[in-house]
């Protein structure tokens, strides 16, 4: 049993003032695997106060001092890599291979990228007779979800610390274990007391206390668009800066010039990774009408290679993270059936032989219109829809016909694919099933959010800009 019953505040582990404790459920078998304490507003007050006090000195540290700190963080993280992988598998059901090869490695990558950026990052620069100074914004509340817990925590903590900010982190109460281990790592690395603080809790209480707190200068939130709207509304009461990385319904345009089999198989693989629990997942595959039948055949075959099983097995896919998520996915699959989409493979219920745990069948729908529910709502599960288009202009119109704009994908001849990419309203566009680039800025258009994470540009999101007028006037 993993019991996360303390919070990390001002450099030490403390007993929560909130009295609520909840069970943490293993999504692989629905067993209770631990408990987590949920904080309240007084816990948030303590954490924010510690962060505010620490900001006075940490904000004045040099690039060299922060680089040294990051070196220690990376070394401490590497020592706990196995513990982190086991925690992620337990808390959100990621297969062991996925936890080890991706969940853990992309987390430390964000610390490495931020550390490298500090080598050359210019916080001050001349402009006319003035000096433009980029200063840390202050105390930052970081609120993260459960689907890529380490990556999403590190993508916020690393640039915030690189910028000279102090933070209060609230991980998801559904997947709290990796957040606790991250706090242990930062403690072992010698992060000054109060610079990093961890408070477990739910969004209704702890999340709201953070976003409304008058001494929090910035909120960085990753989660659903509906929750993001509430975060923005609450943060507006104190005119604090709010970064949001929200939902997505990303198009994947397969041009006629693409190698169809490779494009479709790659799109299915990207969709099914992490049980489809990816905000940037290519969930709408757009295929030319003349190639749809062939694409359906390739998609069906590819999806059926995605074995589903217990995270300790060699299965490609584990469960989704919670019963609530499983129920949502089932509801949306049913809506696809009700609205007349053609079920190619997968469908309702658990895969055969998996009677416990929150497992979902890898599912493909064809004959989908872009106004169907399964083409509009973010499913956040292993469900891909195939939509036909007649020409490239229509493909672009369909791709952009969404309230979201987090990511987009284009497969095909390079020059044509690049031209299409420039027409898509999305924060990232992936060409020809390329891998992630964690140094590139990540964030969305429209209701997918605002601000950018990942890479050197993420540091700028945690800075204020000051102009010192007359700094360079002649004597």
- From 100, 173, 279, 392, the catalytic residue: 279
Residue 76 to residue 55: CA distance in whole angstroms: 23
> Which of 441, 437, 406, 440 is closest to 424 using CA atoms?
406
CA gap 55, 139 in Å, rounded: 7
Can you tell me the distance from the alpha carbon of 180 to that of 178, in angstroms, rounded to the nearest whole number?
A: 5
Could you tell me which of 135, 158, 140, 136 has the C-alpha nearest to residue 48? 140
Instruction: Give kind and range of the element (H or E) at residue 285.
Output: strand 284-288
DSSP letters of 399-442? Answer: HH-SS--SEEEEESSHHHHHHHHTTS-SSEEEETTPPP-TTS-B
Active site residue 56: no
Among the options 91, 100, 245, 461, which is catalytic?
A: 245
Could you give the dihedral angle defined by the CA atoms of residues 339, 340, 343 and 344, in that order, rounded to the nearest 10 degrees?
Answer: -130
Residue 430's DSSP bridge partners are 409
8 Å CB contact between 341 and 365: yes
Q: Are strands 428-431 and 166-170 parallel, antiparallel or unpaired?
A: unpaired
How far apart are the C-alpha atoms of 417 and 398, rounded to whole Å?
A: 16
Judge contact between 350 and 326, C-beta under 8 A.
no
| Paired tokens of 114 | 């931020």
Question: Do the Cβ atoms of 361 and 349 come closer than 8 Å?
Answer: yes
Annotated catalytic, 279? yes
Q: Which residues contact 108 (CB under 8 A, 6 or more apart)?
A: 74, 77, 78, 81, 154
The gap between the terminal CA atoms of the chain, to the nearest Å, is 69
Q: Distance (Å, rounded) from C-alpha 455 to C-alpha 445? A: 18
Instruction: Quote the strand ranges of 113-216, DSSP E.
Output: 124-127, 130-136, 139-143, 166-170, 196-198
Cβ–Cβ under 8 Å, residues 412 and 256 = yes
| Of the candidates 105, 115, 113, the residue with the CA atom closest to the CA atom of residue 77 | 105
Query: Which residues are annotated as catalytic?
Result: 245, 279
């Amino acid at each position: 049993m993993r019991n996360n019953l303390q919070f990390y505040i001002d450099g030490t582990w403390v007993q929560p003032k909130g009295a609520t404790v909840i069970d943490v459920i293993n999504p692989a078998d629905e067993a209770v695997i631990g408990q987590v304490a949920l904080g309240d507003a007084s816990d948030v007050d303590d954490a924010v106060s510690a962060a505010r006090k620490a900001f006075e000195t940490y904000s004045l540290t040099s690039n060299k001092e922060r680089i040294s700190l990051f070196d220690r963080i990376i070394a401490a993280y590497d020592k706990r890599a196995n513990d982190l992988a086991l925690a992620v598998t337990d808390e959100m059901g990621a297969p062991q291979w996925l936890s080890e090869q991706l969940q853990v490695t992309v987390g430390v990558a964000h610390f490495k990228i931020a550390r490298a950026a500090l080598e050359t990052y210019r916080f001050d620069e001349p402009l006319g007779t003035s000096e433009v100074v980029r200063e840390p914004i202050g105390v930052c509340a970081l609120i993260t979800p459960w689907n890529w817990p380490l990556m999403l925590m590190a993508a916020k903590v690393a640039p915030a610390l690189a910028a000279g900010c102090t933070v209060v982190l609230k991980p998801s109460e559904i997947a709290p274990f990796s957040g606790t281990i991250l706090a242990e790592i930062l403690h072992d690395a010698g992060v000054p007391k109060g610079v990093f603080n961890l408070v477990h809790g739910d969004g209704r209480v702890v999340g709201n206390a953070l976003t409304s707190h008058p001494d929090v200068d910035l909120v960085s939130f990753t989660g659903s668009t509906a929750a993001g709207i509430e975060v923005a509304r609450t943060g507006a009461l104190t005119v604090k800066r709010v970064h949001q990385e929200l939902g997505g319904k990303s198009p994947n345009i397969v041009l006629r010039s693409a190698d169809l089999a490779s494009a479709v198989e790659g799109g299915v693989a990207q969709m099914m990774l992490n049980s489809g629990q990816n905000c940037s997942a290519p969930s709408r595959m757009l295929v030319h009408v003349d190639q749809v039948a062939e694409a359906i055949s390739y998609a069906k075959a590819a999806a059926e290679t995605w074995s589903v099983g217990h995270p300790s097995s060699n299965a490609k896919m584990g469960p989704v993270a919670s019963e609530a998520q499983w129920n949502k996915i089932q509801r949306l699959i049913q809506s696809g059936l009700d609205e007349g989409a053609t079920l190619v493979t997968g469908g309702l219920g658990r895969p055969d032989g998996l009677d416990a745990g929150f497992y979902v069948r890898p599912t493909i729908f064809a004959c989908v219109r872009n106004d169907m529910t399964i083409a509009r709502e973010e499913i956040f599960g292993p469900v891909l829809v195939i939509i036909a288009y007649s020409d490239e202009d229509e493909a672009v119109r369909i791709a952009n016909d969404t309230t979201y704009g987090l990511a987009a994908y284009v497969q095909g001849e390079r020059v044509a694919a690049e031209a299409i990419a420039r027409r898509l309203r999305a924060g990232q566009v992936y060409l020809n099933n390329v891998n992630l680039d964690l140094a590139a800025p990540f964030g969305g258009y429209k209701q997918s959010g605002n601000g950018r994470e990942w890479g050197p540009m993420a540091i700028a999101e945690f800075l204020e800009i000051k102009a010192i007028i007359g700094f360079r006037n002649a004597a």
